[in-house]
Amino acid sequence: MNHQDILKKATKEIESLKGQTLDVLDIKKPHSIAYAQHLAKVVSKISPLLGNMIEFSIVEKLNQAEWKGLGKWVRQDPGFPDAIFKGTVKPTPGIEIKTWFPLATEITARFKDSVLHFDKNQTNVAVVAWLPEFLIYGKPKIIDVWVGSAKSLALARDKHYHHPPDYLVFEPEDTSLRTVNLQQTNTNGFKFQGSAELLKKAERDVKKWGKDGAAFSSTLDYQNKIKGLLGKYPYRLDTNFAKIDRIEHPDLETFKLRVLNTKVDGKTILEWARSEWGKLLDTDATESKEIAKDLI
């Protein structure tokens, strides 16, 4: 088995989690309507904690499969990716795991790692959508799972964001000579902050780069060109850069729609998110109490 074989098998194992309930955490059934309303407000906040537990569960599941003595899956905490196949297979296969609480609608996790780190297509990204099995209480239930290559996600991100001179995507500086904990692996986005007149001037500069000048490139020559724009014109660091929800990866967009159209308690998740969930969170409203009562 080569690294691609390992990743294909791991992908099937992870995708098989769809519809399963994980015995890692159990939110007790509310004893009152008021407590049910309170749970609705805080349940999404356990997503980071649950994400850690889901990572652990996924690694355990992967290690239950047969890998022909080639190695085993181990967690990297902290570290990227979250799980790697430690053994004789090179390059080392890895899986980055992101969790999504879809009643929040947006996938808030980010993906900033440079495409340069995935030249061998050795890393996948798994997005795991989950909800409590009874919407506001119970064990976490995996609604759906998407697994795709980290390289394709990075390429989609750079293509979506990079539109010089209005928006620039920068590769990390070469820090390969530094110790591991000081090495930079993340891209960054910068948004133009100048006047309309300055923007037109910057557009003329980009036009001089040729017909492909606006297309993103990781090459040092191209990165130096956009660095020139950063030094010449006003830009700000975009703190919302690389949110997975905004990358517009075609397969991931299909997955998002599938999740949001999944029915839970008689309504699609999107219907819950746009209407019922908002009403439930408004604890002063009569409807909130009625919805909470129905859920328990």
Triad 85, 87, 90: Cα angle to 5°: 80
pLDDT in tens, 199-258: 999 999 999 999 999 999 999 999 999 999 999 999 999 999 999 999 999 999 999 999
The H or E element containing residue 37 is helix 33-42
pLDDT in tens, 119-149: 999 999 999 999 999 999 999 999 999 999 9
Judge contact between 79 and 59, C-beta under 8 A. no
- DSSP assignments along 120-172, one per residue: T--EEEEEEEEEETTSSSBSEEEEEEEEEEHHHHHHHHHHHH-BTTTEEEEPP
> Quick one: what percent of the chain has pLDDT higher than 70?
96
> Which of these, 129, 130, 165, lies nearest to 147 by C-alpha position?
129
φ and ψ at residue 183, rounded to 5 degrees: -80, 140
**CA 275, 276, 278, 283 torsion-angle sign:** positive
pLDDT in tens, 154-190: 999 999 999 999 999 999 986 555 555 555 789 999 9
pLDDT in tens, 3-60: 999 999 999 999 999 999 988 888 899 999 999 988 888 887 887 788 888 889 999 9
